[in-house]
Chain A
Amino acid sequence: MASVEIRNVVKRYGALEVVHGVSAEIADGEFVALVGPSGCGKSTLLRMIAGLEEISDGAVVIGGDIVNEVAPKDRNISMVFQNYALYPHMTVAENMAFALRLARLPKDEQKKKVGEAATMLGLEGLLDRYPGQLSGGQRQRVAMGRAIVRRPEVFLFDEPLSNLDAKLRVQMRAEIKGLHQRLRTTSIYVTHDQIEAMTMADRIVVMRDGNVEQIGTPLELFDNPRNLFVASFIGSPSMNFIKGEVVNGTFRAPGGVIIPAVNLAHGGPAVAGIRPNKLQIGATGPSAEVLIVEPTGDETHLLVELGGTQLAMLLRDRISLAPGDRIDLAFASADVHFFDGQSTLRLGRGDAL
């Protein structure tokens, strides 16, 4: 096992800089998810940790040693790729044994280790098959098996579940997590799916445009997003935002939204954020027009319009409403996050009344 430290890592492709000095510390045995929208540099960062991509500036430290110049095979890592990258001409057993074979392990030991990994992943019956004869989920498992057999100090995953259907993804998510709990190997997991990150990771690194936006546990990010971007990225369905202004400690927005947020020293443009499940139907309050009603069985999803802003609502009950109806919105001001209208940094929450 080993810790991983990323120190001010920069990646340039010629004159184009795509990762701008990222730093993060990953403790021994920790499961860290790297999330962010497409093109933000997650894969690039992971590949620099793996040694597949040169590090333009800064350092990657694995187990206390700077590994910038160390070949991938000597970094004691293994990687699971999005498209699995199995060797098509080798059987499942040969795929898993390839690294051991290259390390010149005795045959019987190779067999033992492959057997162990196969048992762990339920691959015993498939060892003689070729990748072309496996389903997507099975291939994914073989890719995991190939990563496990070497017992590396760090696992690197690059969107390993994104080629699977929704149901299998949920199942494999649980399996990967279970595997991590058993092996306790330091893991870095790239995904653009924030639910995957929330459910699997001990800590999450949120990236955007080659920068780290915030690092924290899933609940820290959910409860105290550092800025508008993190707030909008974490949580599903995502947070509603209302643009307005803070004057004398009170937030006002079009449509009759008035939130007393006495503690805010801020004045000027601001954005109020509220999660869809924190918006309720009340008796008094700003009046909104219902645009879309989506019953899902247990819950009802609503899309309403308030002063030119569309808001999503997630109600715990079945409610008979039709588009065009008007409802009054209710929410606790303590559930409202405020963000600076210019810097987009989070200012705080509203006061509990």
Chain B
Amino acid sequence: MSSKRPQPYFSRSQVTLVRGLWMMVTAILAFMTLFPLLWMVSIAFKPAAESFSSNLIPQSPTFDNFIYVLTAVPFIRYMANSFLVSATVTIVALFFHTMAGYALARLRFPGREVLFLSIFSTFLVSLPVIIVPLFVIVKAMGMLNSYAGLIIPAIFNAFGIFLLRQYYLSLPKEIEEAARIDGAGYWRIYWSVILPLSRPIMSALAILFFLANWNSFLWPLTITSDPNLWVVQLGIANFKSQYSASWNYMMAASTIVAIPTLILFVIFQRQIMDSLKTSGLK
């Protein structure tokens, strides 16, 4: 949308007006999204006496809330658990999902479409629906109260497989054929051609998977009773029920939980842009 070219229907002042209106709308939306976050951070820095005052900038900012939260409750431990689970699920899931997506897109074998449809149909079923049978299975496998119980059931995800399969279908077949002629087998094509080409979409999926697992609550609640295995969302929930009156502590805890996701998002966002630029797919 260049402002320099003359517009056939609108005068320049009208264009400026329209653009101004749009900017106002986006500003309001941004404010509505950001304000609760700002409010949370603000309260986190306020001493208990001030926590219900309406000023956004704390009068006497303090780190006490954070220190209290981190010392009174093993929050670092919860975060480490969350990080371990989310990172493992993300990496393992991407590894298997890319392979599954590639196989479903390119390998010819009987029952491929049926297999794909049955994977796809699991979209229709949400976790609460299958949580009891899932629990029974995981229990039967002896994975209650274990990292395996937190990680393994979270790896399967129809969305990732579906997205990757569609992406692989859109890749020109000739690239893989060229690789075959160059002497690459299935595994080598997957590793040296397909995986590098999927970098942009994998970055996007990595963010989605990581965040989904970082924020997951219901499954960890179902499967873990041992506080040493608690993930951060369980920690927070428990903390909230204990300190329901102390908003300053709760907000400090929430802020701590939000920070890693924000950092990761910023890092990965840059990577998405880079990989989009360098992949050079036309």
Contacts and interface: CB of A to CB of B under 8 A. Distances in A.
B197 to A, nearest CB: 6
Interface in B186-211: 188, 192-193, 196-197, 199
A87 B193 contact: yes
B175 A89 contact: no
Interface in A123-163: 130-133, 146, 150
A146 B178 CA distance: 10
A77 B281 CA distance: 26
B215 to A, nearest CB: 32
Interface stretch (A98-106, A204-212, A220-228, A257-265): A98-106
A73 B282 CA distance: 27
Contacts of A81: 174, 177-178
Interface string B153-182: 000000000000000000010110111111
Nearest to B193: A87
Contacts of A79: 177-178, 181
Contacts of A99: 181-183
A72 interface: yes
Max chain A Cβ within 10 angstroms of own Cβ: one of B174, B188, B281: B174
A98 B175 CA distance: 12
A89 B279 contact: yes
Nearest to A152: B181
B184 interface: yes
B281 A102 contact: no
A102 B184 contact: yes
A304 B269 CA distance: 66
Contact of B182 (A51, A73, A83, A131): A73
B197 A98 contact: no
B111 interface: no
Contacts of A83: 172, 174
A178 interface: no
A89 to B, nearest CB: 4
A16 to B, nearest CB: 17
A52 interface: yes
Contacts of B184: 73, 98, 102
Contact of B172 (A72, A78, A85, A130): A85
B167 to A, nearest CB: 14
B3 interface: no
A103 B183 contact: yes
Contact of B183 (A86, A102, A133): A102
Nearest to B188: A102
B280 A88 contact: yes
Contact of B181 (A50, A86, A103): A50
B200 to A, nearest CB: 11
B181 A73 contact: yes
Nearest to A131: B280
Contact of B278 (A85, A87, A89, A103): A89
A77 B181 CA distance: 8
B6 to A, nearest CB: 33
Interface residues of A, number: 27
B177 A73 contact: no
Contact of A130 (B182, B197, B199, B280): B280
Query: Looking at A85, A89, A131, which has the most chain B CB atoms within 10 Å of its CB?
Result: A89
Nearest to B180: A72
Contacts of B278: 89, 130, 132
Contact of B279 (A73, A82, A88): A88
B279 to A, nearest CB: 5
Given A98-B179, A102-B182, A102-B183, A85 B174 contact: yes
Contacts of A133: 280
Contacts of B196: 89
A99 B282 CA distance: 23
A239 to B, nearest CB: 35
B50 to A, nearest CB: 54
A88 B181 contact: no
Contacts of A82: 174
A25 B91 CA distance: 53
Contacts of A88: 175, 197, 279-281
A49 B182 CA distance: 15
Contacts of B282: 132
Contacts of B177: 50, 52, 72, 79, 81, 85
Nearest to A133: B280
A146 B183 CA distance: 13
Interface string A77-121: 111011101111100000000110011000000000000000000
Contacts of A71: 180
B189 to A, nearest CB: 10
Given A102-B188, A130-B278, A132-B281, A85 B175 contact: yes
Interface in B15-73: none
Contacts of B175: 85-88
B207 to A, nearest CB: 21
A77 B183 CA distance: 11
Ordered nearest first, which 5 A-B pairs have the shortest CB separation? A132-B280, A85-B174, A73-B183, A99-B182, A102-B183
10 contacts: A51-B181, A79-B181, A81-B174, A81-B178, A85-B174, A86-B178, A98-B182, A98-B184, A102-B182, A130-B278
Interface of A: 50-52, 71-73, 77-79, 81-83, 85-89, 98-99, 102-103, 130-133, 146, 150
Interface of B: 172, 174-175, 177-184, 188, 192-193, 196-197, 199, 278-282
Given A102-B188, A146-B182, A150-B182, 14 more contacts: A73-B181, A73-B183, A73-B184, A79-B178, A79-B181, A81-B178, A83-B174, A85-B172, A98-B182, A98-B184, A132-B278, A132-B279, A132-B281, A132-B282
